[in-house]
Every structure is written in C-alpha cells, then in structure tokens.
Structure 1
C-alpha cells in the first residue's frame, strides 16, 4: 500500500468559481489565469472547467502550447510576453496574444517578422514598479507599437499593487490619464479587483487565485461572503497514536510541551509533501470531521495533531489538511505565507486524483 496521503482536484469547483468571477464582473470578458501549471492544480486537470472563459492567461510558452494542443481555440495571453525572437515565431505559429512591457520586446516582435501580425497587451507600470512602461512614456510606446507591421491589435493593461488591501484609485487615475484618447481594450483587474473594485473591471478581468477558491488577501475571512469553493483537497490518515504525559514534549527541538496528559495523532504528511514546515502549533486540521490543531514542528514526512477534540479517532482516521473544511488560507496564515504558495508547492510525490 502507498502512503495514505493524496490530493484531490475539483474541476467543478473551478467551473463554479469562474461563474462567480463572471457574476462579479458581468460587463467584462474573463481571462482565466492558469500560470504556474494552474496554480499547482495541473492545466490538463482543470482544463474542462475553463470552457466558459473568454481567454486563458499564463506565463510559459510550453503551457500556451499545451492549452492549444488540448483544443483551446479562444485567445491565449502570455502575461510576461516573449524573451527571444524564437518565442515570437512560436507565438505566431500558435496564435498567441503577447504582453509587451519594454522596448526590447517591441523590437523582438518587429525583427522576427511574424507571418501574421501579433496581438499585444501593452503594459503600463502604473505604480507596481515591476514591469511596464512608465505613464509618461506610454503614449509614445503605443505609437511605436501601432507603427510596427509585426503587431496587430493593441490592448492596454496594468497591474494593481494593493487591490487586496485598499484603494486602487491612485493607479487607476495614472492609467486613465496616460491612456486618455488611446483606442483599445483595457485590462487591469486581478482577483482582488474583480471581487472588490468594480470601477476597475473595464473590458477584461484577469482572475487567478479566486478561480481556485483562495483569498486574494490571504485571509479566508475576506471571502467569507463570496461563494467560492475549494478546488484542491489535501488529505491523509493517522498512522500512529502516542499517549503523552503532562510535561513531555512532542517533535523536533521539543518545541511543544504538553500541559496535561493527551493523545497525539501522527499524520502521514510533512513538508516533503508540500505542507508548510513553519506551520505553528495550533494550525487547524480536521480529523474524522472534527476540527482540531497541529502540535509541535512539522517533519519531512509527518506532523502531529491533538486528538482531544476527537477521542474516538485512531489509526486510519481520515485527516483533511486543507480543502472544504480547512481553508487553505487559514493554514497558510498560520505558516506566515499565502494560499497561492501552498497550492503551487504540492509535491510531486503526492498522488493526485481528479474528482468526478
């Protein structure tokens, strides 16, 4: 028998969450963001759930080719654009839309002389200070792109730095001022702006984490009133029981000391499976349908849980590490990270099943 740990991917949850995005931005078209192999879910596994999207957005050329080979006929957007002239030829071959954030990319597209003009998303750095043309240079960049025979349609895009924490107005004002009078579709909204900033929806929204049931802010409480469903469940079983006396310690570095006699369950899941090593004692976990907590440090292959709330639990009891009962954002918050990272960090050694 293999170790009892396993992950389930739920395409129906992705389909449902995509519909939530559509309802939140009912006047916009939707780019379904599937970068990082669909946030660790596997593009092939969730692909059937994306049929209602207007386009698929991702980073890597190989992922773009994969969705085309899966049969996707609608637009595909490369969010970081191309890196070489050879990339331009592949974008031409597979009919990809390409983000352009610097003059070098404009030059590469022009120099490659694609057989068909390539549609682009011209990116503005409206305050994120990561990628994009400065607002004061944006119009001139658009003019250069419009003059290139290698470039077809030009959409205008930017990315918000803090849509999950507060106002986006300061970036919207920069964007609107710099693009005033420039034709083309606009796309600004990530998951947070799709949920919470309708003024930023424009022609296209780009939901990512919300498609997978995660909170853009990293706080599960922020989406408590949004009917999102978890698209990934990580579960395992209890493989050992220890009766620990008051004053004894549990795990490496003896970081947890029992205040009273207690039963400890040993779960077949550790940081080599993708569970966060830095999860604090008290991180929520579900045993046989009952919410309890982790105790002590997470090991490479195991973690330990307090069985006081579930006295009937024993070897073979089912454990949910995250999913519908345990929000992935709560596990992440207890580990000093965000749900995005946990999804992407699911280890290759964990067997994955697509739920029907």
Structure 2
C-alpha cells in the first residue's frame, strides 16, 4: 500500500468488505479440514457460516479497528492486515452470542433466516430420524455456538499479530467473553424473576451488549496498538455509553422495528418476556398513574408466546402513550452526548475521532 494522502482508499473505507474476505478465507481453511475428518460436521457448520456471513453491520470489528487507529495504528502499515484479521474474529464471538441467544429465547428467525436450532429441528423432521426433533435442534445449536466461540479464539491467535500485541490483546479479549456470558445469564435471570427494575435492565445492557459490542472491541484495538492508559480509559468510557445507547435502540426496534428491515418478527422482545428499559419504564409509569388498563395490556403481552399483531399494536400504543418510548429516546440522546464528550477529552488521532463520531451516529440512529 502507499503511505499517502487520505484521498486514496485505505482499510478505513473498505473495512466491512475486508472483514468478510477474512472470514471467508478462515472458513474455507476450517471447512477443508472438517471435510477431511468429519464431513457430516462440516455440513452442519454451513449453517453457522451462513449466519455469520449473511449480514450484520460488522460493528464490532469496525470499533476494534478504530480503537487501533485511535492509538496511532497506521492503516497503510505492515500490521494493518493482522489487525483486520484479529478484529474479524469478533464476528465469531457475535456468532456464538446469536446462536445461543436465539436458542434460549426460542426465536424463529434471525437476519431474515430460520435460526440455527429451528433449521436443525426441521432437518431432523424431514429426515425422519429417531428421538425428538426439537431436542436435536437445541443440541446442534449448543455445539455450533460453542464452535463459533472456539473458532473466534483460533482466528485471533492465527491473525499474525506480534507476540507482544497478542499478549496485550488477551486482557480485553478474555474480559469480553466472560462479560458477554454473564450478561446473557443476567438477562435470563431478569426474565424468570420478572425483574422490572430499570437499573437491572441497564446492567444487563452494559454486560450483555455494550461491553462486547463497543467497549471491549475498542479496548482490544487500543491494546493491540499499545495505547497509553488515558487513551484506553477514554475509549472505554466512550464505548460503554455508546454501547448502552446501541442496545437501547435495539430494544426500541425489538418492539417497533419493521420485520422486513430487522429480519426478526415484530414484537419478539415482548413475546420473549425481555425486561428491557423500554418495558420497565412502561410498567413503572402505568403503576404510578394507577392505569390498570395500560398495565393489563402490557402484562398480557410480556412473555406471551402467542401474542398476535393486534396485541403487539396495543402494547406499542400503550408504551407511546405512557411516554416510555420518548424517555428511552431521551436516554439514547443523553448517552450519545456523554460518549462524545468523553471522546473529545481523549487524546487520540484526528482521523479516528472523526471515524468514531460517525460510528456513534450509525450505532444509535438506525432502523435495523
């Protein structure tokens, strides 16, 4: 590559395509090995590969890349390719999270496709195999989610980072994996306990989504670049606020999103009984106003696997009327402003400041 003006294209401009290229290359190598040793398993992993490659915004690798750039990483330098490969491994962390999350929530679709456990249950039914089809689908999803996590570790290790950079990357990488799983557990716990405390919802958002979507990817990139402590702290502060705002936007879309755009059925968060901040605020305001009708509509919707479109529409109307939607939007704006203030005070390179500001907007103002 040329070390030249920013008018020439660099990985900054083509990162999603470069991430996809690295993933395809990684999968081809892994599948060649699998087909030589266990062809049936290689066929099974096609579903995981399809999920990882089928879409997504590549936000996690993008934040990792800009974390590296923020600490002075050279997009035209010799290490850029290794950093892209390391960042691409985050898509496999995401693959694990999606497969397991869909299984635990019994979600039927993801990114416009049948979820992994649904795919394998149907495969079982069509083949007429022994034992229960749903149990087979669940078992396949557990294994493929685990495989995605293992492959993420493999891809990071084989990325070509220097030994010193790989050692520095270990801290955020290890923390991120545990935080993601802890957040998932807390999410399940809140559902079974019926915990409607807004603070619980925010805590789940921080661990389950914000940490592994924004904060730790930024930390990972900065660690690879050997960033000073002040840069790491500033990026993590920015990442935490934007990550929570990202999840709050996701919560809004889980109730109000267009299935043709989100790739998921409308109102799925209601059917799954997720105690999001949106729902927690709605429940609290209905109780404060002694609005029995609003409370009844929300409680009839939450956790109702048979909730129909009319029920979803009624819950939406109540959440709007109670001001819950407006309050969540206000919180998204507040967190975004907090993040940008943190970013402004962090000593990073100017190109990265511009890139991260754009990312903040794309993560919080979106329709899918």
Q: TM-score, normalised by structure 1?
A: 0.24
Q: TM-score, normalised by structure 2?
A: 0.24
Bigger fraction of residues in helix: 2
